[in-house]
Amino acid sequence: MSAGDERWRVAPGGTLRGEARVPGDKSISHRAVMLGALAHGETRVTGLLEGDDVLATVGVFRALGVAIDGPREGAATVHGAGWPGLQPPAEVLDVGNSGTSMRLLAGLLAGLPFATVLTGDASLTRRPMRRVTDPLTAMGARITTAEGGTAPLHIHGGAPLAGIDYRLPVASAQVKSALLLAGLRAEGRTCVTEPAPTRDHTERMLRGFGYPVSLGPGTVCLEGGRPLLGTRVDVPADISSAAFLLVAASIAPGSDLILRHVGWNPTRTGIVDLLQRMGADIQVLAADEAGGEPVADLRVRAAPLHGITVPEELVPLAIDEFPALFIAAACAEGETVITGAAELRVKESDRIAAMAEGLQALGASVEPREDGARIAGRPSLGGGRVHSHGDHRVAMAFAVAALRAEAPVEVEDCASAATSFPGFVALLRALGLAIEAG
């Protein structure tokens, strides 16, 4: 069996107990490497996620001539090259399955004096990129895409960039961040206005690297041409990864988990808000700050969940956690209705279709819709075989669904979990999930 064919077999039922720290936040890890590479001086990172996506970003900057020690056990030192120190790569820059890498790097590379080509795996090269390339082109960048506006992206380089005042048509932290990174090299002021709040890791981290950023209602602005200064970055545990454990402990009778040092950024806590609206017992035990990012320990205990209508304004604050939320909804009493989440159609997979297909295979009643779904909860799920479609979050969601199944659940094509949650199987097994990989 090849690595891409990894399959998980999960026995039905179980209880989760203990405490754990899930791997580092993927979004923050990407940005720490990127800004560290552009800074003057060293940037020392702890808690870095050593998943495939972040390692792809590390590989890109090594190809651009940046020296990076590690990562080893979550620690890395980035020897900042500054903008002038970046060198033309000898080959195409392949970011694998990492949409964050591709979109943010498109903005970062647009202002360089040399040409680069960004590509990725079969899944990534099907994902839309015009939402990034169109506004970058308006800033003066010269970028050629494949037919349909997808990767590979040929970034021709050498074009002077000018600041832009851009209103995002769809809330997207990746597009916002790409434009801000391009704005670092642009003449004048770049402002991005979003229709709804999205994660603000880029704005926070720019300030941590000494770069002035101004904030207004729904808008972030910066002036091009300022220096970035090396710093220390402590990456908290990823709340997107913690979401699977929050749901798992909520639906498995008798469960009681403590999750340590979880990123508690208010633009990322939508999943906790939604689960609490469903009746989840989640407590914040300790709130602190690490490297400019809020962190907290979370305790979650099993609780009866009930269906809700998901407020559309919370969708951007939990967009990556919806596969886990689908499982919570399927195990809740009553009906859950999700709307305003069309972005799920263009993730690593069509997550609306993938979650509906898998839940239906386990006997749940799910009506997929163009921008969401209607899910009728039930006391237990059936067993069966589901396909993750190579999507790490879909795979992990169906693994925890087995806690409320009446027969084993087999999840196919699970190797992708390493992109965001290396060690998922071992950690969940240690906490009480009867999961085997093969």
Contacts of 90 (CB under 8 A, 6+ apart): 63
Burial of 319 (0-12, 13-18, 19+ CB in 10 A): buried
Among 4-13, 55-64, 268-277, where is mean pLDDT lowest? 4-13
Query: Strand 409-412's sheet: what is its strand order?
Result: 384-387, 409-412, 8-10, 435-437
Q: Dump pLDDT digits (tens) for 297-345.
A: 999 999 999 999 999 999 999 999 999 999 999 999 999 999 999 999 9
Domain 3-24+236-437 is found in CATH 3.65.10.10: yes
How confident is the prediction for the chain on average, in pLDDT? 96
Which amino acid type is present at position 171?
A: A
**What's the CATH superfamily of 26-234?**
Enolpyruvate transferase domain (3.65.10.10)
Determine the average pLDDT of the residues in 224-239.
97
Residue 1: what pLDDT?
A: 34
Range list for CATH 3.65.10.10 in the chain? 3-24+236-437, 26-234
Residue 292: what pLDDT?
A: 83
Helix (H, G, I), strand (E, B) or coil at 63: helix
Residue 290: what pLDDT?
A: 84
Residue 2: what pLDDT?
A: 38
320 in catalytic set: yes
Q: What percent of the chain has pLDDT over 70?
A: 99
How far is the C-alpha of 371 from the C-alpha of 356, rounded, in Å? 13
* DSSP assignments along 20-42, one per residue: E-PPBPHHHHHHHHHHHHHSEEE
Instruction: Say which DSSP state 432 is in.
Output: T
Which amino acid type is present at position 379?
A: P
* DSSP assignments along 247-307, one per residue: HHHHHSTT-EEEEEEEE--TTTTHHHHHHHHTT-EEEEEEEEEETTEEEEEEEEE----B-
Q: What is the pTM of this model?
A: 0.92
Which residue spans within 203-249 are E strands per DSSP? Answer: 214-216, 219-223, 232-234
Which amino acid type is present at position 150?
A: T
Considering the candidates 25, 53, 121, 320, report the single residue annotated as catalytic. 320
